[in-house]
Structure 1
Amino acid sequence: MIQTVIFDMDGVLVDTEPLHHDAFFRHFAELGIPMSAEEYATFLGSSTRNVYQQLKQEFGLVGDVETLMLRKRELFGAAFDADTELDLLPGARELVLDLHRAGVPLQLASSASKETIARVFTRFGLYPYFDNLVSGEDFPRSKPDPAIFLHAAKLAGVAPQHCLVIEDSANGVTAAKAAGMYCIGYRSEHSEGQDLHHADRIVSHLGQLDAAQIVGFDQKQKP
């Protein structure tokens, strides 16, 4: 039986990916880095730190990783604050509230920085519903490494086999399954091109989920 739900943030709760995309590509242009859409797609689900660690090695970038990250976050922060239309994804708030009312503990395990998580949770009033917020910036390796999910489970005091993860990226799904957790792949218009076939179940709208069915999910049998 599922005892806690672990949410990814970008692409599951809120779609900040276009803002990240814009910030990254503005910075890539400043740095003179050529970047294809295909290569950029491989970074989805990775922390900003890991992205710049890889780019620094690949392109021999001048400057340390912290400085590179800071510039990208400045660009993202400006875009986030200026976007007055940004909202939670359809069905996200309803699912969070339904799980909270049912007494299901909620955790966040996002590759986003603590600063970005704080921006989102403050803007949309999500703090009261989550027990723990785990940022990928605290881990040396990003998803598909399972460390972030295993840490979220440890903070929740729940064994991995009793955790359910909601993810929209191939890297996130792979990480959840590597952690030994039940995983729902969220295939929306914002996750185009992501291979979610390793997920135990795939939904196209968060409205397809509710607390009653989530608590009853069993690792041994797909719903």
Structure 2
Amino acid sequence: MIQTVIFDMDGVIVDTEPVHHYAYNQHFKQLNIEVTPEMYASFTGNSTKNIFERLKVQFNLSEEVNTLVETKRELFNEAFDQKEDLYLLDGVEDLIKELHSKDMQLVLASSSATVTIHRIFNRFGLHPYFSHIVSGEDFPKSKPHPAIFQHAAFLAQTPVENCIVIEDSTNGILAAKAAGIFCIGYESFHSKMQDYSKADMVIQHFNELSFDRIKTIKVNS
């Protein structure tokens, strides 16, 4: 039986991608580099640190990775605070509240920095529903490496066969599967150039999920 649901954040709980896209592109202009849409799409599910490690090599950037990360974070925070039309994705709040009311453990495992996660959780009042928050900045390798989901299951004290992951990115789905966890792919209209073929189940709206449906998911352990 499923005991723990592990949520990704960006693109699953809230669509902060336009804010990230704006911040990254402002930064790319400052750095005078051109990142193709294909390269940008490949970043989905990666931590900002890992992204700038790649870009530093690709474009021979002189700035230190930590400096690049901090600059992008400042651009994101400024844009995030100014953006009033930012909402939780349709149906996800109802699902989170229903699962929590039925004593399903919820864990957040996001590639975003801890400070960004708390910024979003504070804005939408999400802290009471999640037992643990795991940030990708705490791991040397980003998704598709499974470490973030393995650690989420460890913190939840739940065997991986009693967990599920909800993800919207190719890298996130691959990370969940590499961790041995049943993965629900959330393919919304916000999704761009992502592959859901490795997901165990694919949904287009959160009204397709409920406590009753999730608890009866059969996982091959």
Tell me the equivalent position of 1:150. Answer: 150
1:127 and 2:141 equivalent? no
> Aligned ranges for residues 40-51 of structure 1 at < 5 Å?
40-51=40-51
Tell me the equivalent position of 1:16. Answer: 16
1:137 and 2:137 equivalent? yes
How big is the shift at 1:216?
1.0
How big is the shift at 1:192?
2.6
Tell me the equivalent position of 1:54. Answer: 54
Give CA deviations for 1:181-209 in whole Å, capped at 9, x if unaligned. 01000000111321011000000001110
Structure 2: distance between partners of 1:186 and 1:112: 18
Residue type matched to 2:110 in 1? S
Where does the alignment leave 5 or more consecutive residues of structure 2 unmatched? none
> Aligned ranges for residues 57-72 of structure 1 at < 5 Å?
57-72=57-72
Tell me the equivalent position of 1:30. Answer: 30
Give CA deviations for 1:120-158 in whole Å, capped at 9, x if unaligned. 100000000000000000000000000000000000001
> Aligned ranges for residues 45-194 of structure 1 at < 5 Å?
45-194=45-194
Structure 1: distance between partners of 2:187 and 2:64: 36
How big is the shift at 1:45?
0.4
Structure 1: distance between partners of 2:84 and 2:101: 29
How big is the shift at 1:220?
3.1
Contact 2:44 2:169 in 1 (8 A): yes
Give CA deviations for 1:155-190 in whole Å, capped at 9, x if unaligned. 000111111000000000000011000100000011
**DSSP 3-state at the match of 1:97:** helix
Identity of paired residues, percent?
A: 53
Where does the alignment leave 5 or more consecutive residues of structure 1 unmatched? none
Structure 2: distance between partners of 1:192 and 1:203: 15
**DSSP 3-state at the match of 2:190:** helix
Structure 1: distance between partners of 2:7 and 2:75: 25
Moved more, 53-62 or 68-77: 53-62
Aligned length: 221
TM-score (norm 2): 0.98
Tell me the equivalent position of 1:5. Answer: 5
Contact 2:41 2:192 in 1 (8 A): no
Structure 2: distance between partners of 1:148 and 1:157: 14
**DSSP 3-state at the match of 1:106:** strand
Give CA deviations for 1:41-89 in whole Å, capped at 9, x if unaligned. 0000000000001111111111211110010001100110001110100
Structure 1: distance between partners of 2:146 and 2:53: 19
Residue type matched to 1:217 in 2? I
How big is the shift at 1:212?
1.0
Residue type matched to 1:182 in 2? F
Q: Runs of 4+ in structure 1 displaced over 3 angstroms?
A: none
Structure 2: distance between partners of 1:198 and 1:165: 13
Contact 2:161 2:220 in 1 (8 A): no
